[in-house]
């Protein structure tokens, strides 16, 4: 850590105001990235007409972690935007904002008069980030989900076995789509505020699930363009490396082991006393070993089966060979590397229990951007924000009594 980083430093986006109209994962991820980097992110949550804030708060099952994960370091402003008073309050807020972010269906924001075309006259410096299923084009009218674009975008085909397309094990497109939305916002800020050629004006940014997914599989598209050979699904691919596999070892444990170069093969054979294999001319180079996998791998699996996963981990680590235990997500909450490096930050879960949050996977001058506030309660900051916008205590109380505002 540098000497400068030993003192608390300002985060890069301190002083930046972001107003978000988001739900689920994609839009909230964009706001979380900007919030973690110091921006004031105000989450406008709908109330009234059967709404109780962001519906993501009520998700159960696989969606139960969405809200606390992607809404930390944010403020909550709860308003009924279908009333003139609620809409007026949010327009006052947007007039003070640098960025607006949203991820609702096409047309939703326009119906409220909160689309970019309507808001740029109010705030010409406003950067408006829209997160959609598809960028403008033939598919833009379709309703998209992460699964939808994984299926139509080749990722499910590449992930599962032939004939058995499989969704990736996390919200890859939602999360990355939100990250690209944040990257677009950062680029627009630089273009607006550059000291020598800044435009002084905002612009609309769009990020989309489908195009994000296509970017993820672009390496396979390029492989076909270069070689004329279509990429096979990952479980059926012809490996470029001789040993690049999950092994079942002692006591039924599993571990991933890799030997990806000729020098690594020599080390591997030496530490596991595989002199017979090292001397075999049929296994001289990596490509030779790839061609020999049909008979070589059963031999290696038999010999590795005598070791425990812990023993193999220790040997591979000592000899700088790639390995990985097969870990479940919940086990990472106790991962020694994450605990030692501060990669997990304490938070308060929505029900009041203590928990841990995974931080952005970056350091700034040796420090991880942290959690300054857990995900907010519905309307937690409503009164303070309305006061800042010029509403006095009587007006705020009236809005609360009429159900226009909450909190």
Cα 336 from Cα 329, distance rounded (Å): 14
Pair 21, 100: CB distance under 8 Å: yes
Cα 59 from Cα 71, distance rounded (Å): 14
Task: Output the furthest CA–CA distance in the chain (Å, rounded).
Answer: 88
Q: Specify whether 174 is catalytic.
A: yes
Cα 67 from Cα 58, distance rounded (Å): 9
Residue appearing with tokens 């403008």: 136
* Among 167, 187, 147, residue whose Cα is nearest residue 34: 187
Options 98, 174, 262, 365, the catalytic residue: 174
Using alpha carbons, list the distances in angstroms from residue 231 to 49, 76, 162, 236: 50, 46, 11, 10
Cα 355 from Cα 345, distance rounded (Å): 8
Residue appearing with tokens 């900051």: 381
Tokens for 221?
């598209």
Active site amino acids? 174
């Amino acid at each position: 850590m540098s000497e400068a980083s030993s003192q608390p430093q300002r985060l890069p986006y301190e002083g930046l105001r972001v107003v978000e109209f988001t739900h689920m994962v994609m839009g909230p991820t964009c706001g979380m990235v900007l919030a973690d980097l110091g921006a004031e992110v105000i989450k406008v949550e709908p109330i009234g007409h059967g709404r109780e804030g962001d519906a993501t708060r009520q998700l159960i099952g696989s969606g139960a972690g969405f809200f606390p994960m992607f809404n930390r370091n944010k403020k909550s402003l709860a308003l009924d935007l279908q009333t003139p008073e609620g809409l007026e309050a949010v327009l006052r807020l947007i007039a003070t904002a640098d960025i607006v972010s949203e991820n609702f269906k096409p047309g939703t924001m326009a119906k409220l008069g909160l689309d970019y075309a309507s808001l740029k006259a109010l705030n010409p410096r406003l950067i408006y980030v829209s997160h959609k299923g598809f960028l403008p084009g033939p598919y833009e009218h379709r309703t998209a989900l992460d699964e939808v674009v994984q299926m139509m975008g080749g990722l499910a085909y590449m992930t599962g076995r032939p004939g058995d397309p499989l969704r990736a094990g996390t919200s890859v497109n939602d999360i990355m789509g939100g990250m690209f939305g944040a990257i677009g916002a950062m680029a627009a800020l630089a273009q607006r505020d550059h000291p020598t050629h800044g435009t002084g004006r905002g612009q609309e940014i769009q990020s989309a699930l489908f195009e994000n997914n296509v970017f993820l599989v672009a390496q396979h598209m390029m492989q076909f363009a270069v070689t004329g050979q279509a990429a096979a699904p990952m479980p059926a691919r012809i490996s470029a490396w001789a040993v690049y596999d999950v092994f079942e070892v002692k006591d039924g444990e599993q571990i991933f082991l890799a030997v990806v170069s000729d020098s690594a093969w020599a080390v591997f054979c030496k530490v596991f006393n595989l002199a017979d294999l090292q001397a075999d001319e049929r296994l001289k180079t990596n490509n030779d070993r790839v061609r020999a996998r049909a008979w070589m791998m059963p031999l290696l699996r038999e010999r590795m089966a005598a070791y425990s996963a812990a023993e193999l981990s220790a040997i591979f680590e000592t000899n700088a060979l790639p390995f990985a235990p097969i870990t479940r997500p919940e086990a990472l909450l106790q991962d020694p590397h994450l605990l030692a490096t501060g990669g997990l930050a304490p938070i308060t879960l929505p029900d009041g229990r203590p928990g841990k949050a995974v931080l952005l996977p970056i350091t700034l001058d040796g420090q991880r951007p942290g959690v300054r506030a857990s995900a907010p309660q519905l309307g937690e900051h409503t009164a303070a924000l309305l006061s800042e916008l010029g509403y006095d205590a009587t007006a705020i109380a009236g809005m609360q009594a009429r159900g226009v505002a909450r909190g």
